[in-house]
Amino acid sequence: MVNYEVEGMTCGHCKKTVETVFGEIGKEAIANIDDKLVTVKETLTDEELNKLRSRLSEDGYSLGNVK
């Protein structure tokens, strides 16, 4: 399991949105609001990270580095 920092999550709706965006690229993810993390099964590629960062920024979130 790999954790990535996510800024901007404040509620259950945020959690669901982040998890849905990861699902759009075929990645199952579990977001944790309290720790400001999203967990996936494997390290994401640079291409996947770029897609996710771009897509999440549209909704007001920022995807950080491995934590």
Does residue 67 register a pLDDT over 90? no
CATH number for the domain spanning 38: value is: 3.30.70.100
Model's pTM, two decimal places? 0.93
pLDDT in tens, 3-57: 999 999 999 999 999 999 999 999 999 999 999 999 999 999 999 999 999 999 9
Residue 60's pLDDT is 96
Per-residue pLDDT, 34: 96
CB burial of 5-32 (b: ≥16 within 10 Å; e: otherwise) equals ebeebeeeebbebbeebbeeeebebebe
Domain coverage including residue 55: 2-66
Total number of domains in the chain: 1
